Amino acid sequence: MPARPVISVVTIFLDPGPFLEEAIESVRQQTFRNWELLLVDDGSSDGSSEVARLAAEAEPHRVRYLEHAKHANRGMSASRNLGCLHARGTYVTFLDADDVLRPQALETLLSTLRTAPRAAMAYGPVEYWYSWAGPRAARGDFVQRLGVAAPALIEPPALLLRFLRRRASAPSGMMVRADVIREVRGFEDAFRGMYEDQAFCAKVCLRRPVVTTAACVYRYRQHPGTSSSRAYRSGEPDFGRTSFLQWLGGYLGREGNEDLKVRDALRRELWWARHPRLHGLLRRARRLRRKLAGRLRPPRGPRSARA
């Protein structure tokens, strides 16, 4: 029986095309070697199931193929939960099938989490990756702004408040302690697509501290097949944000959470989500005010020489 891995990498997939092989290879190239990879098939029909099975057959001691009963499509949350259920690592990280990890990703996240014994989760900024498409890329790559200090240990519920108010990016490319995943009862099966990660992170951020790193270890591929791109094309006005906020209100009630700051932030965000036009007008007004302030600011004069 192989030794128990330290880190379990959970990759869920549904018709990812050629991207899956790149994701698998990015795990194989990790500088930290004590990992296992769980490839969770959510009912693919594009040939990627065979790619995943072959990867598992080639390295049965560290790569496993999983699927739902009858090769069913159960959604992103249920698929992540299936991977977590079979994970043997002390720590679990998630890699989407169309993204890649930088070679130091596992080493960096593990080191970050180990420096903060009280932290439930570690994460850092994500690179929005356009250049994979070559000369036809829509724009240049850039690293997201976290909106919080890094490195830092953030006590609950400060991080949840910041990403609820859209002052910080919700954690992505994260590594979580396996016992914390069990503690919060994993991902919410009701979220099949958008906001499944935010629902999970909300549960973690309400209970436990989170540690950040300034290192960017995750490349988030930008292409028309991403869940956010599909949601945008669907015409859904808020991409499911209202449903997420309503779920969070119910979750707070079931957990008996009476934190007034969280409830006030949730109430405000629900109001804005239900009045998207007003929210859009306010955002445009704020951008215009910042633009005008920049134009009206007097130019800086030359610095005086010091004696």
pLDDT digits (tens, 9 = 90+) for 13-48: 999 999 999 999 999 999 999 999 999 999 999 999
pLDDT tens digits, 111-124 = 999 999 999 999 99
Neighbours of 80 (CB within 10 A): 26
pLDDT of residue 289: 75
Cα–Cα distance, 32 to 15 (Å, whole number): 28
* Residue 154 φ then ψ, to 5°: -110, 120
242-290 pLDDT per residue, tens = 999 999 999 999 999 989 999 999 999 998 888 776 656 666 776 677 7
Sheet bearing 100-101, strands edge to edge: 100-101, 218-221, 126-129, 142-143
Residue spans of alpha helices (H) in the chain: 19-28, 48-58, 76-86, 105-114, 158-164, 178-183, 196-207, 227-234, 241-255, 260-274, 276-296
Strand-pairing partners, residue 91, are: 7, 177
CB 63 within 8 A of CB 36: yes
pLDDT at 213 over 70: yes
Let me know if 96 is exposed, middle or buried by CB neighbors in 10 A (0-12, 13-18, 19+). Answer: buried
Averaged pLDDT, 189-202: 93
Structural domains of the chain, ranges and CATH numbers in brackets: 7-235 (3.90.550.10), 236-287 (no CATH)
What is the dihedral sign for C-alpha 1, 105, 227, 177? positive
Q: What angle do CA 109, 96, 85 make, to 5 degrees?
A: 80
Report the C-alpha dihedral over residues 232, 236, 242, 248, rounded to 10 degrees: -60
Structure confidence at residue 216 (pLDDT): 97
pLDDT at 179 over 60: yes
- Paired tokens of 256: 């008996």
Average pLDDT, the chain: 90
- What residue has token string 């079931």? 254
Residue 239 or residue 145, greater confidence: 145
pTM: 0.87
Model confidence band, residue 304 (pLDDT cutoffs 50, 70, 90): very low
Is the CB of residue 239 less than 8 Å from the CB of residue 196?
no
CA 306 – CA 51 distance, rounded (Å): 68
